Amino acid sequence: MTATLGIRPLDASFGAELTGLRIAGDVPEADFQAFLDALHRHHVLLIRDVPNDPAAQVAFSRRMGPLEHHAAASAVHPTHPEIFCVGNYAADGITANFARGVEQWHADSSFREVPSAASLFYGAICPPEGGETWFLDAVGAYEALPEATRARIAGLKGVHCLYTLSEWNRRHTPGRAPMDEARRRAFPPVAHPLVRSHPVSGLKSLFLCPAVISHIEGMSVEDSAALIEELMEHATQERFIYRHSWRVGDLVVWDNRSTLHTASLFDHEKHQRLMFRTTVAGSARAA
Ligand SMILES: [Fe+2]
C-alpha cells in the first residue's frame, strides 16, 4: 500500500476493505496502481463512505479502461450514460432496472464476445435489510476441485447467450417482454472456456453463469445442465462466499475475471434501493 492507503481483509477467504482512497479521475498514479494491485490480489474491494458523485465514479472507473454501455438502455443514468441504475427507484429521470425474481450466479456481461473486466457498484439508496450482493471466489473454488474434475472440464466451453438469460428472467419475473430481434442479433451466442485464466494474475477460475449458458459445446443441454449444477454445488460452498450487506456510500469493486456474484431480494414494497454500476470492458476474449 501507499502512504495514504490502508487495507484490511474482509471476513471471507477473499476480498478486502481499502481505506484512504478518494474516488475521482485524478487519483495519484501510485494510489491507483496500489488499488489495481489490491483488486487483482483480493478480487473484491470495498471502499466505504464514498460521496454520491456519479461524475467522479465514471471518471475513476475510466482510469481502469473503456466503459461498457449497458445492454438495457432504459435503465441508464440520465446524465451519465455509462452508469447502469439498479433497484426499484423511479424518480429524477431515473428508472432503475428492477428484477423481482431471484438472480443466479454470474460474471457481468459474460454474453459479450469480450466479457467485462471489472464492475464498480455504488450504494446510493440501500434498504435496511436484504438487497445484499453475494460474491463467490471462483479461483478458490477451481483450485479446490478434485484433480479428476479439473481434468474432466479442461478445454470445455460454455455457450453464453443474452437470449438465454432473457428467457430465464422471463420465467422468474413474470410480465417481462421477450427480447427483441435486434438485440438478439446484436448479442449472438458466444463460447467461453469453463475455466478461464486471469490475464494479469494468470490464476485459473470457474467461469460459470448458469442462467446465461445455454449449453456446453459438444454436449446435450441436459448433460450440460447436470455438469454445471455439479460444479455450482461445489463452488457455492460457504467457504468460497462473501455476502456484502450494503451501507449507503459503499463502493464495491469486483474483478469479473476471478469472481462470480449474485443479488439477494429485499422488501421492495417497503424499501427503496438505488445502485449505480459502472462496468469496465475487458481487453481480450476469455482464455
Ligand atoms: Fe451482475
Which of 66, 121, 81 lies closest to 248, judged by CA?
121
Q: Evaluate whether residue 285 is within a structural domain.
A: no
Ligand 1 mean position to 263 CA, how many Å? 8
Q: Tell me which residue of 52, 17, 27, 67 sits closest to 275, measured CA to CA.
A: 52
173 has a pLDDT exceeding 80:
no
Distances (CA, A) of 94 to 2, 56, 88, 144, 279: 37, 18, 10, 43, 18
Q: Tell me: pLDDT of 126 over 90.
A: yes
Identify the pLDDT of residue 176.
81
Distance 109 CA to ligand 1 centre (A): 8
Q: Is residue 268 part of a domain?
A: yes
The pLDDT of residue 266: 93
- The stretch 158-162 carries a mean pLDDT of 97
Q: Could you tell me which residue, 222 or 102, shows the higher pLDDT? A: 222
Q: Given a cut of 90, is residue 54 above it in pLDDT?
A: yes
Q: What is the structure's pLDDT at 103?
A: 79
Q: Tell me the CATH number at 107.
A: 3.60.130.10
C-alpha of residue 86 to centroid of ligand 1, in Å:
10
Q: Is 287 within a domain?
A: no
Q: Does 1 reside within a domain? A: no
Give me the chain's average pLDDT, please: 95
The residue among 97 and 139 whose pLDDT is bigger is 139
Which domain, by its residues, includes 104? Answer: 6-280
Does residue 99 register a pLDDT over 80? Answer: no
User: 261 CA distance to ligand 1 centroid (A)?
Assistant: 6
Centre of ligand 1 to C-alpha 106, Å, is: 6
Cell 443514468 -> residue: 77
User: What are the contacts of 58-63 at 24+ separation with CB within 8 A?
Assistant: 58/82, 58/83, 58/278, 59/24, 59/25, 59/26, 60/23, 60/24, 60/25, 60/27, 60/120, 61/120, 61/278, 61/279, 61/280, 62/25, 63/25, 63/27, 63/32
Residues in the 5 Å CB sphere of ion ligand 1: 108
**pLDDT at residue number 46:** 98
Which stretches does DSSP call E strand in 57-132? Answer: 84-87, 90-91, 94-95, 118-125
User: Is 222 a domain residue?
Assistant: yes
Percent of the chain with pLDDT over 90: 88
Which amino acid, 286? A
Ligand 1 center to 108 CA (angstroms)? 5
Residue 70 placed within a domain: yes
Grid cell in block for residue 59: 471518471
Percent of the chain at pLDDT exceeding 70? 99
What pLDDT digit, counting tens, does each position of 176-197 carry? 889 999 989 999 999 999 999 9
The total number of structural domains that make up the chain: 1
Domain assignment of residue 273, yes or no: yes
Using 50, 70 and 90 to split pLDDT, how confident is the model at 71? low
Burial of 138 (0-12, 13-18, 19+ CB in 10 A): buried
In a domain, 240, yes or no: yes
